[in-house]
Each structure stands twice: as C-alpha cells, then as structure tokens.
C-alpha cells in the first residue's frame, strides 16, 4: 500500500487539467486551492501506518488471492460489520481532518453500487460488466489508487427528462461519433457538477444521474476514468472564505484538511470498453442510483457526527480560552452529543438491519438510511448553532482582525490586538480556536451535507414509500374494533 | 409452553391481594381494572402459536438441556441478534396491544441484569447467587410463568440516601426480625411503587433501587417472589380515564390491551434464600441498576415506535372517516415515521454496538442507550401532537358524547348524534377511530415513557459521562494547531 | 352587574335541556358534569368585585348612555388597548381557573365579529341587522348575561359543500316550514358541535360555519338564543378522566374550574327576527368567520400562556414536594416561560398591529394572528412535556392510587400509602400537586387548543396568503442585481 | 437633512484611522473593505427622500423648537409608536440592504439609553449630564450626522471584574494622566471590540461595558467622539468570504449593503467634558446597559425578520431558476415566515407592553425583550437551513465556479460553464440567486445575531428573573387546594 508520499507523487505525475480563478493548477499538492484537500486525503495513507487506526482504514481484499491487505476505500462492503466500519471510518476521518475527504468515499460507494448493479445486469442481460469491473478493481486495489465518484448532472430544467431538455448535453451522455474509438468504447459529452475531491484523486468513477426510461438510454452510463483523461476539463468551485486558503497565517486554521468540489466538463471523451460498466441499460440506472444513495445516506451520519465531535471540542476550546468552564455549557454540550450520536446511531442501525444482495454487497435498511438523510439535513445546523452559542461573539462569525493585522508591526497596532485578544489563554490560542469554530460553521470547512447524496425532500419521499402505512392502519383498525374498511376519499 | 387459557388460569389460581378503589380484586382476568392488561399480556401467548410471530416471541433456552423452546421473555439475552429482537418484539407488542405489556419486559430485563450482576458477585465474593438464579430460571422457563419487575422505591426526600431518611422504610430493605425465617432467608419491609403489569404476572422480580454505600447495605437486595406472597399488598394506581374501563361500550376502544401500575406494600415479607440474589452486597447495587437501565433504555425505543405506528394508523383512520385523504398529511405522517424510526433505530444501534459481558449477557452501548432515553422523553410527544393535528377536533380531546349518549334511545337524541357524527364513514367507525387517538394520546393507553426506566435528566448525565469531550478537544486542538494546553478555568 | 350568586341563580332558573351519560341535568350549578365549569365561570363575577382584577374584567359600555359599567365579555372591542386586555384577561382566567372559561370568550368574539359584519351588510344591502344586534346587546349588557358562542357544524363529508351533502342537515340551516313563526323569524335545523361552556351560559350566539356560496345561502345564518330555547337539546361530550368529576376527593384537584363541550341539536327551532343577524346573506358569511377567527387566534395565545403559567407552578410544586430545588430545572423552566410568553406576545403584537374596522371594531393583524394559531398548536405540547419531565413519575401520568385508596381505612393500607407518598412535603400536598400536573397535561383540564378556533393547517394557509412572497422576491432580485423576471415554472 | 452624497462627503472629510489587512483605508466610501457598508448606510439617506419610506426613517425632533424634521436614528424614542417604528425600520433596512446597517441603530440605542440614565443620575446626584447630552444631540440632529455605538470591552478573563484583571486595560477606562486635558475632560485607554459599522459613521457613542461596583468606578464611563479623534485606531475584522469584496464580479452579489465590525484601540484619548455623560458613577452603569439591551433585544427581532424575508425571496429565486415551482416548498416557506414573524412580533409586543421612563424614554417590556433575544439566537438558523434546503446544492455552500471562471474566455471553458449552469433561467440569474443565498446564510452578509446585544444565555438569566415563578406557584397551590407552604429544599 502507498505511503502518503507515494500518494502525492502519483498526483504530481498527472496531467494538469484543473482550473480555479482562471488559472491552471500545475501541482495539486502545493497549489493553495487544492493542497488542503490533498493533505486531508493524505492523512488516510498516513494513519494506515498507525496501529491505532490501521484496522479501520484497511481490510482484506475479497477478490484477490492470496488475500491482500488493501485500503478499505477500495473494498467491497459485504457484511454488517463492513458497513459499520464504513460509518465509523467516516466519523474518524472527519475527526482527523475536520471536514470531508469526499475524494474517496463517493468513489467507494460507486464501486459497491455498481458491483451489485453489474451483477443484476449480467444475470438479466448476459452482459459481462461485472468481470470488467472486477478486473479494474483488482488493479486498483493492487496499485492502491484513490478514486473519487461523480453522480450529479447539470440537469437543466428539473421538470424535464434528459432527452426533453432543449440542450441534450444537460445530462452526461454517450454521443455517436467516430473519433477513433474501438468497438465497445464509448464517447461521452456533458458535465458532472459539484464533484467532491477530484483534485485529490487518481481516477473518477462515474454513475448515471438517475432512473432513466427508454428514450433516455444514451444517458444510462457508468464508467471509470483517470482524472486527467484527454477531453476532460475540471473547474474547481468556490466555497466560503476560499480566498483565505491563498493567504499565509492561521485565518484558515486547518492545514491538513479541506474540501473541494468541481465541475467536470466532458468534451467528447473516449472511454475504453474495459472501463465501461453501463452503456444504455436504462432499466438498471435507477438501481445504480438507489444502491448508491442507500449506502451513502446510511453512512453520512458518521460524517456529520465526526464533524460535530470537532465542533464540541472547538467550542469548548474557545470557552476555556475565554476563561469559562465548560460546566456551564453542560446542557448545550449534551445536546451537541445527542445530535452527533443520533446521526451516527441511525447509520449504525441502517447497517445492522441491512441485508446481503446476491452479488455479496451489504445493503443497509432503506427506511433508516433515508431517515438519516433527513437528520443529516437538520441536526448539524443545530450543532453549529450551539457551537457558535458556546464560542461567543468572536467565534460566531470569526469577528477578529486578520492574521496580517494580528501580526502587524509596521503600524504598531499588532501588539495592541494581541494584548486585547488575550483572555484566559494566549491571544493566538484564542484566535485559532475561534477561527476553527468559524471554519467549521460558516467557513471553508463546511461540507454540503444538506444536498450531498440527494436532498432531504427526496429522502422524505422514500421514507413514505418505505413506511408501511397500511400496516399501521390495520393495527389501528384491529385495536379500535373497526370492521368497516375505511378507504380514503377519492 | 402455556396457552392463553392456561396463562389466565394460572392468574386465577392466585391469592387475591390487589386492590383498586377500595375493593379487593377477586379475579384479575375479569375485573374491569385489570382485565385489559391481562388480555394484552395474553396476546403474547396467543401469537406464540402464530407462525408469523412465533420466532419473535419464542427462542431456545441457553440453560436447559436438551434445548427447550421457551418464551423470549424468559431468555438470557446473549447476542446482538437477541438484543435486536428484544427491540423488535417490544415494537410488535405495542403494535398489537396499542400499549405497554410491562408485566413482562421489566422482569425480563431484571433477570438479565441480575444474571450479569450475580456473575460478578460470585467471581468477586465467592457467593453462589448465580446458581440460585439459574435454578429458579430453569423452573420459570419450564413452567412458562410471567414475571414482572420492580425497581422504583418511594424514596422519600430525594436529596437523602436511604439510611438518612427520617423513615427508614422509604426504600425497600431487609429488617432484622425473627418471624420464623430459615437461615439465609430474608425479611423485607417497605414498598416498590409505579410497578407495571403486576396484575398480569405470576411472579415479581425485585431489584435494588440504586447504587448504595456501606451504611445503606440493608437496601441492597434483589429477589423474586410470587405475586401473591404473604405480606404483600398491591394497590393499583389510577391512570387517565381509568373509570371508563368500568363502563360498557367503546369509549375505551381497545379491549385486548391496557396498562396498570401498582404500589407494592411489603409488610415484613419472608423471602426464602433460594429466591434471594443480593442481600447486602451494596457495592454491586449500582451495577445491577446500570445493567438494567442500559438494556431498558436501548429497547424502550421499540416501545414508543410501536405505539407511534398505531398513532399513524389511528390518525389516518379519523382523517379518512372525516372524508379527507391522507395525502394532504404527507409531511406530517413522514414526521411521525421519522420520530418512530429514530427511537427504534437508536435502540438497534445500541444493540449493534454492544458487547458481551463475561457472564454471556449482551450489553448495549451505554451512550446510545441513554441518547435514546432522551429521544423517548421527547419525540413521542411530538408524534402525539401530530396525531391530534391530523385527527381533528373530535380526536384531539375525544370531544364526542359518551357511548351511552351515542346509543340513547330513551330520550331520542341518540339517533341525532349518530346522524351528525356520520361523515365519510359510519358514525361508529368515526367515533371508534377518534377514541383510539384519544386513548393513545391522552387516555388510558398512555404509558409513562418519560420517566419509565429513569428520567431523561439522568440519561443526560450519563450521556455527558459517556461522551469523550477530551477526545473532541484533542481533535480540535490538533486541527487548529494549538500547542498551549487549554485547561478549563478553575 | 351580577354577583356570583345572581349568576348561578340565573342558570338555575333555566329549563333543563342538557344531558350527559343518558341523564338530564336538572341543575347545572350542582350536577357533577357541569358544576366545575359553572364554578369557573362564576369566578369572573367574583373577581369583578376584587379591586385587583376589576379593571381587567369590566369596562364601560360604548353603546349605552350614560356610560354604564359592564362586563368586558359583553363589550365591543374598539381599540388596541381593548384587544390587549382581551389577551391579558384570557391569561388571567386560565391562571385563576386552570383551564378554559369558553362559555364567555367565544360568545364575546361572536358579538364583535357580527358587529363588524352587520355594519358591512347594512352598508351594502340596506339591511338593519346592526340595529337589531345593538338592541339585543344593550339589553345583554344591562342584564349582565353570560353568552357562549357556537361556530362548528358537524359538516359531514369535509370535501363537499353544505348543499352537496347527502344529508342537508349536516350544517345548521334555515328550513322553510310553517310552524307559527312571524314574518322575519327563521326556523333552524341541524347541529353545532364541540361548543364550549354552554352549560355555564344564559344565551348562545350562533355564527355561520364558513364562507358560503349562493346555493348554500340557507346556511348563512347568525342569531342569538336563550340556551334553553324550545327545540334545542344539548349533549355534553366526554373529556379525559371526566368520570372523576363524579367522585369525591382530590383526584380532580381543581374545584373551581373545568371545561365542557357540547353538541347542540336544533330540531326546527324558531328564532324571532329581533335575534337574527344574518339570514341568507351568503356573501358575508366568510367575513363573519374571518372576523371571528382573527380575533380568536390573536387572543388564544393568552389562554395557553395562562395555562402554561399554572403548569410552571404545578411542576415546581411536585419537584419541591419531592425534595428537589427548582434550581436544577432552571433551563427547563425558562423554556416553559419562553413558550408561554411567545404565544402571549404574538397575541399582543397582533393587537398592536391591528386596525379599526369602519364599524369601530378593532381587528388584529391577520398574519400574526394566524402565526399564533400555529404556535398554539405546538408550543403548549412542549410545555406539557416539560411539566411532566420536572414533575417526575407520579406526575407524568398521575401514577398514584385513587383518593379512595389513599384514604382507605377498611383494609388498612391507606396509612401505608400515606406513609410512602410522603417526601419533602406531606403526602396529600404531593398527591394534589401531581394530580394538578396530570389534570393540566392529560386530564380533565386539557382544552382543545389545537383545533379550537380552527386548525393550524388552516392557519398556515392564511399565513401563506398573508405573507408577501412577491415582495420578498423583489427585495432579493434587487439585492442580487437580477434583471431577468424570474417566473415560476408553469 | 443630508443627501446620500453629503453623507459620503462627510465621511471623506475625516482623518483616515481605519486599517484592514495591514493597510490604512484612505477613503471608506471607495475602499473595498468598507464601501459595501457605506453604500448600505447611504441607502438610509436615499430612502429618506422617497415618499414611500420617508415617514419610517424620519421623524420630528422632540428637543428642537420649532419642530425640526430629523433622522429617526437621531430621535428620542418616546412612545409605543416610536418603538414599533424602530422594529419596522430595522426590518425595512434589512429588506433593502440584505444585512445590518449597524452603524446607526447601536448609536441610536445608546443615545436613548443614556437619555434615561443621565436623567436618573442628574436626579440622584445633581449632575448636569442630561443637559450635556441634549446640547450634543441638538447639534447632531441639526447636522444629521451618523453615529455608531460601542459597548463590548475585550474583558480578558470573563470570571474577573475589570479591576481584578492582570491587565487593567482589558476594559475601557479613565486613566489619571496629565496630557493637557481641561478640568472635567477625561482621558481613556483600552479598547472596544466587535463594533458594528464605525466605518460608515461620523461619530461613536460609547457606553460602559456592564454593571460595575465601587472598585471598578474608573470603568463606568460614557461619552461620544468623532470617529477620527486623535489617539483612536480602528482595525476592521474579517468576516466570512470578506476577500471576495476585493474582487470584481458578482460573487459578492450585493453591492449596496454589507457589514463591518471593528476593534477600537484607545491610546489615551482625551474626551472633552461636553461629550462625557458618565465618568465614575458606577452605580448607574448597570442601568445604562440594561436600558440599552432591553431596547436592543426588543428591536433585533425586526432585523432577523428583515433578513429572513430576503432569504425567502432568494431561496424561491433559486428554485424558480432551477425550473421548480415554489408550490412544492409551501410548507417550508410557511415555516420561514413563521420564524420571521415570530421574532418581529415579539419585538412589537415588547414595544406594546413597554412603559415610559420618567425621562420620557419608552422602555420595552423586559421579559418579552429577552424572550426575543433567545428566538433571535435560534430561529434564524432554522430559516437559513430552510433557505439552503429550498435552494438546492448550488445554493447550500455556493458550489459554483468563480465569476472569473464563469466569464473565462482565455481557456474556453467559460462558455461551457455558462451552458451547464443554465436551467429554467439564464445562467447568470441562477448564479446570482444562489450567491445571494450563500451570502445570506454563510457568506459576507451574515450578521452576528446570536451574540450581538448580548448572548441568549444572558437573556435566559433575565427571563428567569423577570418571570414570576412565585405567582405561578401561588396559582397552582390555590387551584390544587394545597394549604401547606411548599418551600424548596434548601
């Protein structure tokens, strides 16, 4: 398995094709727009060498003989235990990086989703997709590469299907060109948007956007590509306070952790058939997406719990720095932990009540997975609010002069700022702690937990579908001794 | 295993020692104050014979050879799977009876708590308590008896320990008398209060009230007794609208389900040593209580979820009866299911992250168990509110004339009431459905989920103890690059 | 103005026409089903004689010269100050009776609603309804009578208008009969349901049920009648634990306060034209209802705040009786007061931002009035939950033996119960306090605040209508510099 | 009264003494760090000329004869009506600028607080502070100057009083120097931190930090100074995404609105006695603060409601731009308006239930004012969450490429981004709307509503003090018929 250095070198060897602020990023490991997230992802390789965390982030391959130790992010999730470690690992990585290392978990989820989906396709259609996937995955495991995942299409008008859009490229699709591709290769055009962590990844696993029907079959595609494949241009989006990442000093307090989200622009990219896992089998696109989101929604509770843990710590650091004891915040801290453990726990429960797909993949309970998506779109906001409450005025919106002003020597006011920012702790400690609260609650560390992996509203729809209202009605009727069938008014 | 009839006959054979409204209850299976809860408990025996539910309510004994099929309520909980079925069984029984069958689960929990506690006592002190417990339990399993559990003492002044009370009897205790007991037998005096389902039970398993210190050692007692033991007098408490249980008609809409809670008055009761599992070992009393409440708090989420399921059904029944479609209540119903699944799911998670005690007992995760206690003291109130919201004015407080008035023939207005109570459904259906909402939300079916198994405030204390704040702080310090140890202000 | 005794005598002089449990209530002032609410209403007369409260419950008539001191419940609400006292008076009466004295405020609201509505009718149609109303009101003020109000029709199938119902009587209507009525008199048939406090009233003011269209014009009626008018039969509904009101002792802890809700059955009742204020003017029925509910929804926040005040006190009483200091419940008590003051405050705000109708009536702000209706359907549930939380196990569901058992002398256990129920306070004090929490939170004192005055869902509809979304969009567009008109997708 | 141009010119005439990022800001009206907030404040002068808003932002002076039309921000608040317009004006300004124009309302509040406080001082001590204040205020009104307000001291260790701090300068204080001041002048040293809008103001009104005792009397000071007074250095703090304000394009979507918060460093500043309104009268410092915060907390509900209005509009703009109808978000929008109107309404209620101080100042109800502070620290977080929920993934964290990338022509991908960002609306419209949601919910437009004007925790303390628990207990005791005085356990 790779060392952190080998991981970074692998990124440096790639063709630069990522832009931000109109500038091509030559080296993602040192460019200010991407180095934070790369450093965060590198921590995964780092802790793989740490006895304390080794068993969390590594496992044995189920497809390589003799058994090989691999990164858990490249493994097939085959049991309740595997799924539980998934949730725990996400929590751990948020603990250690303070934010999302989404350049790995989305790709991992995509691999597992397509493992089940290719199994079903092959069984039904006689295709050989799973073998292709297996071949690629064995190689990926052996080379210990980092794989991000891409799901969301631009979509255009949300009320129209892909083929109804005035511009057919609003969802990623196969186009019928002759650009030198071999038989079985596909050529794709369009975009994937808001894709997490591609700058930190070697390859990108692409899923179809949603459930498609026959006329949309050119949109039912799944494949994996090197991040620097010809024809792919990547634009990093902004995030809150992102320009601070270009500054010196501690106004971005976290150096080994950060988030990026990108727009991927596909200009007739040729995908070799060995890397294609769906190409027009529209009936299976919904499965691919559902397989993905159930697992994603079950485990995202670990993410927000992990970030919530850090918020508890950060808020108490500011309080202590202010000269206050955390005892007076007991009720609030307890609520923060309740929020954290609730999203974590529902994820664990979804894992525990899951079942094994015929392909071997462990599928979490869909009702609990979607319940968790709703909590993930709600409870962290409450946790952030409490962190700002405990942290006080300097933490709430990071209401502190800049690092440059704090260090000012030229005008003479730097010393005064340091004097007045001191409380129970040193001024710098107090500022760093307050900046961490800011970074976590409305700064560069805020992940998109509301809409990542789909929106709460969509989850609510699935909750209603997966809740057995008729059974509830039956129980109620029996208890109340009602014989009349009580049908809803038409 | 017993049939429902054999179960009821076993109750009828017992000495009457239960009172309500100044009257001795001669036969608990037919007296209006107790027949509802007995009928609810009888359902457990009924569904044991139903293929659909058989595996939920029965299991194999782990202490009888050859393996015997026994009631799950008499089993040792030895694995995650056992604990998960515990949660599911509670949900199921609330589904089927609409309320609490607490005459079984508390006793079951007590057995398991004392199995672990007696193991620890025997290991440390060289006592033989577990063998006594095992002997009794084998007999209980073979005879398929029903065992309730008793935990709560009157306590007197909450700020004083048992031995500091002006009246030493305010907590159940051993007294030093010579009333003909054998060596090793104990004589107990005092009371246990708010004890669920004793009227439906054959025996009562008694736990010490809390963690005791040396001067309180006479209070550190655990034993099991026949419900009709000499010297024990039982007074059933009131519950909302309990007098309706003495009426005819459907104003209590549920006939096969109901709740009782009793005060047990011990007037120097002699407990034979074979039935004594703790007698003065004060250091183990806290363990006994903690073992009990962790498991209780993990599984109570199943209870409130099960009652919540029925509330969904009942509310929709009224809405349909009113001529409304449940579609307009989608958002509200979804919230009800989110509430239900959250308490259920956290219970499942506590089971999944549990671990096995050396005695073989599965102990759920204490943090998640206590998180759930807080949710159980909050979310069901929201679910009830929504049920009343959906059900409309007649459901909110059961604002409907009495069954007697509904059926009135003498004065001629009964027909008018029936005429005006008709909507999309028959008048009787509509009334029964509204009465069910009333019964569930502020009637005789309301269980004491807030304080049963301990109060949310106590759970919050345990949450803070089980949350690793220092670890959170460590993560935050590392992320923010803070070297200064940031200690709290003294 | 009447004394409490004169008030009760006025009730005793009336024809008995109220039934409960199949029995005609001969004297509402002493019958157990009605005496509590009569005693509660009598308190209004009592405190009118108390300097401390006199100015709250009395005012000067604006329609009698020379100025006469009258009950505020018979006054026209003509200013912000009048409306604010309305909110405060409701809070006070809940403070003093623990529950709803709905036999006055609904009628009062109806008078004011119809004062504005008759003004509009007369202006538009040339009718003389306001003069009729004024004549009747002058007499009512002079005689200081008690007037309840009736709004809700049985409605039948909620999706059909009155004239579409299979049974045309499902909403109260004029029928075309010749039963000896004078020209201009009307004959009404149907029912009004869930009507609060009629047993405590001398007369009943009837409003049309909702906004009607031409085919429903026979349903557009408003009038006032003596409660004992020929042809009217009244059936009192049940409420939680209502049979306890027939017992001795303190299991119903409140003697001078109680709630009744009745079904009024109109069997071709002749209403003399002097008492008819709408008779077919369907275009004004919506106004009548809106006038009513805006004022009702503005002031109901005072009601639930007043009951919430008592819950704070009751919960602390139990805590103190248990030997606990309220200090440990500070956070919870603060939340209770926040809930109380929020509903109270929004009512005050609705009054403050109201405006004067041309008829002189003060109309509260409709947006804030409806906001309050939503809070009133939510916050009191939270307040009740906290009261049960603070009160502990005996308060949560009133888990205490009956008064009869508590006093038992025959079997000898009464003394034991008293012994074990003692804590920091006397046993009786502790039980009374716990019973009060029970009575307030799930007993006979629970008012129908969710659906009284219309449901939260209806209020939400009015909130959306009264919220100026287009103005919000305009602000946002201007701020974001968006020129394109951004129309919603059709 | 000044025109917007005259206002800006008045700022340009001042001595530069404000720094950010190590740089002296020469002209606050054009420097990127301050021009947004100056433009926002200029809007006040602009709308004073607009008939639609004129009566909101102007009023008549109560201290100048003949009556002069003045800015409302310079007026004395003397009636309920004045206080209500205060709340409404704050809402309006947030509507029009999207954020806080705190360079005026804090100073205004300070003037009113000190008007009452100087009255009390003069009455008690025979001082002439109010005359000084009046003289200054007449001049301020005539010249129509802009006055910010400064309250918060650095404080150092929160558990120590000012004189106990190891550094006595941690709270602003008078020092005993001889630096050429006249008799009665004072010299002040220390700092005020997190001061809103000073860059947009001509003068700064300073209040003492909290209630002081005798040993802290040098800290009991109040005065008003030109913003550019000798010895005062001002450092602007950071806020989320503040560097974007230095960019071109629409990534900061709002040009005429913005927030600044500064640290004011006082290096032995001489304050002439005519501008000193408290100088050592420590017994009145608590009054000064309480007068300030009651009014502040009553009216801040208007602020967050006004920003909430814009969030409703912004969220719907994104939804429409995405091709969605707002109808599907009805429930969510209604909740946003409920949140907005609740904070607005409680502010109105606090005004309506206020009373007039002997000095003529209208003081809002302290209980409701503090209730509102708690809501203001809670409800806006919910409103922001819903805005992000409705706005979708691009709005949640502003997950869109930068304006520079959006406009890119050099690398050719700008056109592709524009292509893929188009939905139902133009790409630019969609981006601007999403950026507005970002700006409002976690960008440069987020005000410090949690801790501004004091923290919710402090407000809760005042709620408990202002809630009459003993009265609640009295009501409960009377209702429950409890004679025993039920005292809390010591």
pLDDT digits (tens, 9 = 90+) for A112-144: 999 999 999 999 999 999 999 999 999 999 999
CA distance D301 to D346: 7
**pLDDT the model gives residue C488:** 86
Quote the mean pLDDT of chain A. 97
Closest residue of A to B93, CA-based?
A475
Are B315 and B171 contacting, i.e. CB atoms less than 8 angstroms apart? no
> How close does chain A come to D258, measured CA to CA in Å?
14
- Average pLDDT of A338-357? 98
pLDDT at position D490: 75
Question: Is C471 an 8 Å CB contact of chain D?
Answer: yes
Contact B385 C450 (CB under 8 A): yes
Chain C: give the shortest CA distance to residue A2, in Å: 48
Residue A354 pLDDT > 90? yes
> Is the Cβ–Cβ distance between A382 and A339 less than 8 Å?
yes
Q: What's the confidence (pLDDT) of residue D37?
A: 98
Q: Any bridge partners for residue A236, and if so which?
A: A262
Q: Rounded distance, CA A425 to CA A428, Å?
A: 8
Q: Is the pLDDT of residue A416 over 90?
A: yes
pLDDT surpasses 80 at A315: yes
Cβ separation D393–A238 shorter than 8 A: no
Determine the residue of chain C that is closest to A159 in CA distance. Answer: C489
Mean pLDDT of D50-73: 96
C chain contacts of residue B21, beta-carbon cutoff 8 Å: 402, 404-405
What residues of chain C, 36 to 95, have a C-beta less than 8 Å from chain D? 80, 84, 95
Please indicate whether, in this complex, the C-beta atoms of C238 and B401 are within 8 angstroms of each other: yes
Residue C203: predicted pLDDT: 98
Touching check for D489 and chain B: CB below 8 Å?
A: yes
Q: Is D160 on the interface with B (CB under 8 A)?
A: no
Sign of the CA dihedral running B290, B296, B299, B300: negative
Nearest CA in chain B to D328: B331
Q: Partners for D (CB, 8 Å, 3+ pairs)? A: A, B, C
Mutate: best of C155, C231, C241, C329, partner B, most B CBs <10 A: C241
Residue D489: pLDDT above 80? no
Query: Is a pLDDT exceeding 90 seen at residue A68?
Result: yes
**Burial (0-12, 13-18, 19+ Cβ within 10 Å), B307:** buried
β-pairing, C276-279 with D18-20? Answer: unpaired
Q: How many CB atoms lie within 10 A of CB D59?
A: 21
Contacts of D157 in chain B (CB under 8 A): 489
Whether the CB-CB separation of B153 and B191 falls below 8 Å is answered with: yes
Quick check: B159 contacting D, CB < 8 Å?
yes
State pLDDT tens for residues C405-462. Answer: 999 999 999 999 999 999 999 999 999 999 999 999 999 999 999 999 899 999 999 9
Which candidate in B157, B164, B489 is best for mutational testing of the D interface (most D CBs within 10 A)?
B489
Residues of A in contact with D458 (CB under 8 A): none
**B157–D contact, CB cutoff 8 A:** yes
Rounded Cα distance, C139 and D85, in Å: 42
Residue that is written with structure tokens 């007697």 in the block: B404
* Contact of A440 with A446, CB cutoff 8 Å: yes
CA distance A386 to B474: 19
Beta bridge partners of C232: C266
* Interchain CB distance below 8 Å, D398 and A240: yes
The answer to whether the beta carbons of residues B158 and C323 sit under 8 Å apart is: yes
Question: pLDDT tens, B310-360?
Answer: 999 999 999 999 999 999 999 999 999 999 999 999 999 999 999 999 999
**pLDDT bracket for residue A85 (50, 70, 90):** very high
Minimum distance, in Å, between the CA of residue A329 and any CA atom of chain C: 11
Facing residue for C489 by CB, picked from A159, A331, A489: A159
User: Could you tell me which residues come within 8 angstroms of residue B407 by beta carbon, excluding any fewer than 6 positions away?
Assistant: B249, B414
Closest-CA distance, D423 to chain C, in angstroms, reads 11
B73-111 pLDDT, tens digit each: 999 999 999 999 999 999 999 999 999 999 999 999 999
C touches which chains (3+ CB pairs under 8 A)? A, B, D
Position C324 scores a pLDDT of 93
**pLDDT of D210 over the 90 cut:** no
pLDDT score of B489 more than 80: no
pLDDT of residue B210 exceeding 90, the answer is: no
- Candidates B229, B230, B178; CA nearest to B205 is B229
* Residues B109, B298 contacting (CB under 8 angstroms): no
Query: How far apart are the CA of C169 and the nearest CA of chain B, in angstroms?
Result: 8
Kindly report each contact of residues A17-20 with a partner whose C-beta sits within 8 Å and lies 24 or more positions away, as own/partner.
A17/A227, A17/A228, A17/A232, A17/A233, A17/A234, A18/A198, A18/A199, A18/A234, A18/A235, A18/A236, A18/A262, A19/A233, A19/A234, A19/A235, A19/A236, A19/D405, A19/D408, A19/D411, A19/D413, A20/A235, A20/A236, A20/D401, A20/D402, A20/D405
Reported as a single tens digit per residue, the pLDDT across D272-301 is: 999 999 999 999 999 999 999 999 999 999
Residues 324-353 of chain C with CB under 8 A from chain A are 331
- Looking up tokens 């409806």 gives C370
d(CA A474, nearest CA chain C) in Å? 23
The CA distance from B124 to the nearest CA of chain D, in Å, is 39
Mutation target vs B (from A349, A354, A443, A478; most B CBs, 10 A cutoff): A349
- Is the pLDDT confidence value at B133 over 80? yes
ipTM score of complex? 0.97
Q: DSSP letters along D83-131, please?
A: HHHHHHHHHHHHHHHSS--HHHHHHHHHHHHHHHHHHHHHHHH---HHH
| Structural domains for chain B | 4-287 (2.40.110.10), 292-470 (1.20.140.10)
Dihedral sign (CA D57, D60, D64, D65): positive
Classify residue D239 by its DSSP letter.
-
| Cβ contacts from C onto D, under 8 A | 254
CB contact under 8 A, A156 and D423: yes
Distance separating alpha carbons of residues A487 and B6, to the nearest angstrom: 39
Which chain D positions have a beta carbon within 8 Å of C97's beta carbon? 479
Give the span between the Cα atoms of C489 and D11, in whole angstroms. 46
Q: Which chain A residues have a beta carbon less than 8 Å from that of B479?
A: 97-98, 253-254, 256-257, 310, 314, 436
Asked if B108 and B74 touch (Cβ cutoff 8 Å), the reply is yes
Partner-chain residue, chosen from D157, D331, D489, that has the shortest CB–CB distance to B331: D331
pLDDT number for residue D261: 97
CA distance B156 to chain A (A): 27
Chain D residues 397-436 with a CB less than 8 Å from chain C:
424-426, 429, 432-433, 435-436
Strands (E), C240-397: 261-271, 276-279, 355-356, 362-363
Q: Which residue of C has its CA nearest to A157?
A: C489
pLDDT in tens, chain C (490 residues): 899 999 999 999 999 999 999 999 999 999 999 999 999 999 999 999 999 999 999 999 999 999 899 999 999 999 999 999 999 999 999 999 999 999 999 999 999 999 999 999 999 999 999 999 999 999 999 999 999 999 999 999 988 999 999 999 999 999 999 888 999 999 999 999 999 999 999 999 999 998 799 999 999 999 999 999 999 999 999 999 999 999 999 999 999 999 999 999 999 999 999 999 999 999 999 999 999 999 999 999 999 999 999 999 999 999 999 999 999 999 999 999 999 999 999 999 999 999 999 999 999 999 999 999 999 999 999 999 999 999 999 999 999 999 999 999 999 999 999 999 999 999 999 999 999 999 999 999 999 999 998 999 999 999 999 999 999 999 999 999 999 999 887 7
pLDDT digits (tens, 9 = 90+) for B382-400: 999 999 999 999 999 999 9
Distance CA B432, CA B420 (A): 15
User: Going along B289-334, which residue ranges are E strands?
Assistant: none
**Which residues of chain B make contact with A345, given a CB cutoff of 8 A?**
345-346, 349-350, 368, 371
pLDDT of C211 reads: 79
């Amino acid at each position: 398995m790779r060392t952190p250095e080998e991981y970074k070198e692998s990124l440096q060897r790639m063709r630069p094709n990522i832009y931000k602020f109109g500038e091509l990023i030559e080296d993602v490991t040192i460019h200010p727009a991407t180095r934070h997230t790369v450093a965060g992802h590198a921590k995964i390789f780092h802790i793989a060498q740490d006895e304390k965390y080794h068993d969390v982030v590594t496992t044995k391959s189920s497809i390589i003989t003799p058994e090989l130790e691999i990164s858990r992010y490249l493994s097939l999730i085959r049991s309740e235990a595997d799924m539980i470690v998934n949730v725990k690992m996400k929590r751990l990585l948020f603990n250690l990086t303070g934010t999302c290392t989404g350049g790995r978990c989305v790709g991992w989820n995509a691999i597992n989703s397509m493992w089940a989906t290719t199994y079903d396709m092959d069984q039904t259609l006689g295709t050989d997709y799973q073998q292709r996937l297996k071949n690629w995955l064995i190689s990926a495991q052996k080379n210990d590469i980092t794989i991000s995942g891409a799901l969301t299409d631009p979509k255009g008008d949300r009320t129209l299907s892909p083929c109804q859009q005035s511009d057919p490229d609003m969802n990623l699709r196969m186009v019928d060109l002759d650009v030198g591709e071999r038989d079985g290769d596909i050529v794709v055009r369009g975009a994937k948007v808001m894709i997490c962590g591609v700058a930190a990844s070697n390859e990108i696993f692409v899923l179809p956007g949603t459930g498609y029907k026959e006329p949309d079959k050119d949109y039912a595609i799944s494949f994996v590509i090197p991040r620097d494949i010809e024809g792919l241009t990547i634009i990093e989006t902004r995030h809150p306070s992102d320009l601070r990442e270009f500054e010196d000093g501690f106004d971005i307090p976290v150096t080994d952790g950060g988030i990026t989200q990108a727009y991927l622009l596909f200009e007739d990219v040729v995908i070799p058939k060995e890397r294609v896992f769906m190409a027009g089998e529209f009936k299976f696109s919904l499965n691919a997406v559902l397989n993905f989101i159930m697992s994603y929604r079950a485990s995202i509770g670990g993410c927000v719990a992990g970030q919530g843990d850090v918020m508890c710590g950060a808020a108490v650091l500011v309080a202590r720095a202010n000269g206050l004891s955390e005892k007076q915040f007991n009720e609030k801290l307890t609520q923060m932990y309740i929020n954290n453990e609730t999203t974590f726990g529902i994820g664990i429960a979804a894992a525990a009540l899951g079942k094994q797909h015929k392909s071997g993949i462990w599928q979490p309970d869909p009702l609990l997975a979607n319940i968790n998506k709703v909590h993930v779109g709600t409870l962290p906001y409450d946790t952030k609010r409490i962190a700002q409450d405990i942290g006080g005025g300097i933490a709430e919106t990071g209401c502190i002069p800049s690092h440059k002003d704090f260090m000012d020597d030229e005008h003479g006011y730097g010393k005064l700022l340091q004097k007045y920012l001191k409380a129970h702790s040193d001024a710098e400690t107090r500022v760093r702690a307050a900046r961490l609260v800011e970074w976590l609650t409305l700064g560069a560390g805020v992940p998109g937990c509301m809409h990542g992996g789909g929106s709460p509203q969509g989850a609510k729809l699935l909750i209603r579908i997966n809740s057995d209202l008729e059974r509830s009605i039956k129980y109620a009727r029996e208890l109340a001794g009602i014989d009349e069938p009580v049908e809803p008014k038409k």
